[in-house]
């Protein structure tokens, strides 16, 4: 069972608010041979308690690296949940067009490229799949150590499809906004096909909860550049965290106000933007 000790956020969470980055785990599904993270079960009913506590209505379930190319855990879950859920799946480059169509009809909308430990994918896969999905409504979702962004910026910048970058870059160190890696992220975020998730502050921060104050300058620099392609995600159930470092999901919503988003901008980030991208 998931820890449901989230507090109610201080901000008014608008109707239709979406968590665009969370995961399910269920040990009735086999793990990938490359898996290194084996959390206890975190199931739809566990997340429902979080949703109700913090005022969220919609979710985007992201394929965990634990299951590799086997997306059944999350697809079976969103089939039970219904139209308030979408999925981001992980697929091999040789997937057929027919199988991609099947995934689309199962409410998958993104293809995940988790270019970190346990990855089933290679950087060379991204241009291949980008060419296949351009103009279709699919997008590529990319997670990396953002300190590598100067190396991979040219590849990402040239992708001809919609791209979503996870966790504000997920830097392995909390850098300043003028760092070359964050400047690379800002350049990418300025492109009309690139979206960024205001999520994962706890992955970057060295100062820690509840405010993750050292991440605020990074978030604010993205917000100052424009909010029409920014998203929010909790990254629930936070299986890499300890009792001491476990985030409060309600407090993660309040960070949007801490970072200077107005009520109208929060409506965009939580409701309007995800509805556009994921087709709610």
Active site residues: 235
Q: How far apart are CA 225 and CA 220, in angstroms?
A: 9
Under 8 Å between Cβ of 166 and 200: yes
Under 8 Å between Cβ of 90 and 63: yes
Q: How far apart are CA 146 and CA 18, in angstroms?
A: 24
Alpha-carbon separation of residue 218 from 188, 222, 252, 261 (angstroms): 14, 7, 15, 14
Query: How remote is the C-alpha of 59 from its chain's centroid?
Result: 10
CA atoms lying within 13 Å on the CB side of residue 236: 35
CB-based contacts of 137: which residues, under 8 Å, 6+ apart? 104, 109, 279
Q: Which two tokens stand for residue 118?
A: 């346990």
| Total number of residues shown for the chain | 280
């Amino acid at each position: 069972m998931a820890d449901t000790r989230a507090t109610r956020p201080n901000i008014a969470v608008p109707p239709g608010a979406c968590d665009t980055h969370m995961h399910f785990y269920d040990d009735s599904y086999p793990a990938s041979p490359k898996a290194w993270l084996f959390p206890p079960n975190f199931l739809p009913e566990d997340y429902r308690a979080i949703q109700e506590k913090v005022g969220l209505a919609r979710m985007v379930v992201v394929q965990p690296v634990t299951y590799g190319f086997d997306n059944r855990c999350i697809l079976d879950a969103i089939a039970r949940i219904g139209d308030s859920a979408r999925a981001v799946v992980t697929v091999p480059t040789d997937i057929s067009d027919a199988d991609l169509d099947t995934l689309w009809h199962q409410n998958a909308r993104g293809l995940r490229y988790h270019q970190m430990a346990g990855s089933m994918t290679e950087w060379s896969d991204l241009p291949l799949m980008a060419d296949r999905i351009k103009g279709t409504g699919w997008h590529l979702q990319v997670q990396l150590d953002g300190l590598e962004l100067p190396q991979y910026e040219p590849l990402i910048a040239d992708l001809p499809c919609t791209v979503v970058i996870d966790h504000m870059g997920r830097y392995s160190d909390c850098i300043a906004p003028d760092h070359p890696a964050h400047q690379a992220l800002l350049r990418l975020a300025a492109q009309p096909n690139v979206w960024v998730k205001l999520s994962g502050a706890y992955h970057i921060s060295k100062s820690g909860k509840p405010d993750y104050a050292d991440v605020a300058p990074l978030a604010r620099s993205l917000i100052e550049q424009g909010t029409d392609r920014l998203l929010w995600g909790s990254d629930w159930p936070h299986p890499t965290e300890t009792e001491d470092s476990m985030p409060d999901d309600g407090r993660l919503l309040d960070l949007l106000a801490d970072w200077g988003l107005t009520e109208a901008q929060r409506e965009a980030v939580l409701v309007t933007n995800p509805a556009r991208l994921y087709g709610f």
